[in-house]
Chain A
Amino acid sequence: MSTHVGDEQAEIDRLRARVAALEAELIEVQAWANEVVGQAQERTYWLDRWHVDLNELMRHRSADRLRAAARAVRSVIRLFRRLKRRFVP
């Protein structure tokens, strides 16, 4: 009987330790997430201040065109640099 009680107590202790470990893990994760969200809010301050939702903005058709234009300009610049590297000592 006493062995049975001892086993039960050991199981309770083991479960308590497990709960404590899980709680500690949760706190670590939430601390990290909380700080990361805080940092992200700090980074996006001016967007928030000016009510700019970049995702919304970039979904717009004009944004696609702007990005395509930027890609075109970039490819010309790269081409120019490649040529310069090749032909200009």
Chain B
Amino acid sequence: MTTVSVVIPVKNGERYLAELLAALAREGVNEILVIDSGSSDGSVEIVRAAGVELIEIPADAFGHGRTRNLGAEHTTGELICFLTQDATPVDGWLAAYREAFSLAPRVGAAYGPHLPRPQTSPMIARELGEFFATFAPDGRPTVQTAGDPPFLSNVNACYARACWEELRFRDVAYAEDQAFGADLLAAGWSKVYHPQAAVLHAHDYGLVEFMRRYFDEYRGLREAVGHVEPFGLGATLRHVHRSVAADRKWMRQHGAGVLERARWTTRSAAHHGGRRVFSALGSRADRLPASVQRALSLERRDGAPRMPAEPASPAARRPGGPPLATGARIPRMRERDDYEVAAEVWRHGPAPLLDPVAGMADRERLRIAMVIPPFSRGSGGHNTLFQIFSRLERRGHVCSVWVHDYFRELRDVWPGVVRRNINEFFAPIKGAVYKGFDAWHGADLVVATGWQTVHPALRLDRCYARAYLVNDHEPEFYAASTEQVLAADTYRHGLHCIAATPWLRDLLIERYGATADAFQLGVDHETYRPRPVERRRDTIVYYARYETPRRAVPIGLMALAELHRRRPDVRIVLFGGGHPIHTAFPYEHMGVLSREQLSWLYSEATVGLCLSLTNFSLMPKEMLACGLPCVELAGVSAESTFGEQPPLELATLDPTNIADRLERLLDDRDLWERRSREGLASVETHTWDHATDQVEAALRHALRLRELPVVSR
């Protein structure tokens, strides 16, 4: 005969515990284990008196899932029954469970009805009867498989050990049984509802406690299986009306007198109405402040997810035995791993490209799909992309935008809003914007635009070629890390690179063996031009964006501290950072400025300071376009943009040298005039139209690289 163990988690359960243990002894189970989590009543004594095995755990170690897993681990029966401390099996309970597991192959679990106790309220008694009747309309056991409701209740349930070992209970705050039910069906097991495997069980809460318990239950259901209870005022009123009528009818059928029926009617209305409200609130608890959640919860829990690091089965003690140590079982917490798409590329390689067609590079109109990472207002990289993309679209190319939102940063932003934001933040586009690739329908060219977008772009099929618009050498943004490795990996997959400076192009070719073209970042000359404002002779403006490490802000600040020491009268203005930073000199904090404001600032200032440890950025060009001489770092990338005689003052990566260059421009009026003039002249041709010409030529180059040699005639 199949051996059966029973596990009963207990806390202050003395009211029904003796009755329950006696019923189990009567039924003849093979093993009983009680896990007490800090009872302060007589529960432990009752258990000991009954000669039942006991494990005591600290109250804060209790978890509905983890404690039951602990119980299953410490029992040996082929079937493991779980009962709550207030559920008393009725006669025939054990036989019914044994029968349940013989009704079908691969029965993973079975459960039975909860019968009302004599003192149970009519609302609960009626609902229990009606609820469990739905599982067995003809009163016979039913086998449930995939597609059936996942309902399981650990108030009274029994599990095949093999099934529990395969799935185990999730360490969730609530509804671990429902989660197990869903997991079980999904894993191909079946479950059985057996009407004779019944227990006497009903909660005797007051009205408020009931409501708070519903809040907890539905919050747990949401956490475990994602259930959201619908709510509507009309529907609630109709539900209350129907339920009260049903309760009254039930009371009549069970012999309740007029007075008793009247007494329960008000309570019934409050119960059913309150339940609808509290279950809807519980389903949506994540939208409530923690303090409100705690107030509404019977468990006083604020709903914060339990941290995986919390030990699932902390040291439990058998009386007189050593502490039991078991590892934490962490449930699945996310849909997929962070860089799964990169692993897919490594495993399966890029999706195959379409066979090239002769002459495709020279077609007047190209279908261009640009894959972009999420963005926010003011993103310089995205501004570059859309300045060019918008112009490509105006030239007749069919341009679509695909947002790869891997970390769900834009999860609450729908595509129409993403599209409008692009239009408002950067440049006007007419084409469609897609989130994700469900609607992918192919293109002539797929253009990746940042290291995070390359691997998904490589998995897109139905395209002739892939290109990679490279704004910066992104591996340098990271210390030794997965991100650094992945960013470097993106240059090695054969995408034709279109680099934002010749320096970057050469780096990609030499270091990674990529094919690459270069383009020059354009300047919006309508905005960035000398404004009609008197030029000051004492003002240094510094792009001190501390949040961006490649801007070498600590070195810039040391240079300005040195300059201030030499020339305390110089006005120093810092901009680009959200918050004022602490410095060794006084300054004016401008924060993040609009493009219009920047152009006025550049038109008024004496010298600009903008450092980049990687690729040459747009900002010095915009300063020059406003007639503002600028100091940048030598030997990185500025020379590749302007040649051997750049219109900038280039300094070594040394605060004193930077301070020298700034001071020279402040003091030497001729030098200042020359730099200002040269700067204006040098960026005159750096327009977005020119940048678009270069990018368009590079896109055609990417297609040409794939073209078959034309068959000789």
Contact = CB atoms under 8 A, between A and B. Distances in A.
Contacts of A35: 430-432
B581 interface: no
B648 interface: no
A75 interface: no
A19 B416 contact: no
A51 interface: yes
Contacts of B431: 34-35, 37-38
B84 to A, nearest CB: 37
B690 interface: no
Contact of B358 (A16, A34, A47, A48): A16
A9 B713 contact: yes
B430 A41 contact: no
B234 A45 contact: no
A66 to B, nearest CB: 11
A38 B432 contact: yes
B357 A19 contact: yes
B416 A45 contact: yes
Contacts of A47: 416
Interface string A49-72: 101000000000010000000000
A60 to B, nearest CB: 8
B71 to A, nearest CB: 43
Contacts of A12: 711
B525 interface: no
B42 interface: no
Contact of A23 (B234, B357, B420, B713): B357
A62 B365 contact: no
B415 interface: yes
B415 A48 contact: yes
A26 B416 CA distance: 25
B339 interface: no
Given A9-B713, A16-B358, A23 B363 contact: yes
Contact of B433 (A19, A31, A41, A62): A41
Interface in A16-36: 16, 19-20, 23, 26-27, 30-31, 34-35
Given A16-B358, A30-B398, A37 B441 contact: no
A53 B412 CA distance: 13
For chain B, which range describes its interface: under 10, 10 to 19, 20 to 34, or 35 or more residues?
20 to 34
A41 B419 contact: yes
B429 A45 contact: no
A41 B232 contact: no
Contact of B417 (A19, A27, A31, A45): A45
Contacts of A38: 419, 429-433
Interface in B364-420: 365, 367, 398-400, 412, 414-417, 419-420
A27 B398 contact: yes
Contacts of B419: 38, 41-42, 45
A42 B357 contact: no
For chain A, which range describes its interface: under 10, 10 to 19, 20 to 34, or 35 or more residues?
20 to 34
Nearest to B433: A41
Contacts of B226: none
Contacts of B352: none
Contacts of A16: 358
A19 B17 CA distance: 82
Contacts of B365: 27, 31
Contacts of B416: 41-42, 44-45, 47-49
Nearest to B360: A23
A34 B399 contact: yes
B441 A30 contact: yes
A30 B363 CA distance: 15
A58 to B, nearest CB: 15
A31 B412 contact: no
Given A20-B359, A31-B398, A34-B399, A51 B414 contact: yes
B395 to A, nearest CB: 12
B432 A41 contact: yes
B367 A30 contact: yes
Interface string B417-448: 10110000000011111000000010000000
Given A23-B357, A30-B367, A41-B432, A49 B711 contact: no
Contacts of A23: 357, 360, 363
A42 B422 CA distance: 12
B704 to A, nearest CB: 16
Kindly name the residue among B357, B359, B414 whose own CB sees the greatest number of chain A CB atoms within 10 A. Answer: B414
Interface in B635-692: none
10 contacts: A9-B713, A27-B365, A35-B432, A38-B432, A41-B433, A42-B416, A42-B419, A42-B420, A48-B414, A51-B414
Given A12-B711, A42-B420, 5 more contacts: A20-B359, A26-B367, A30-B367, A35-B430, A44-B416
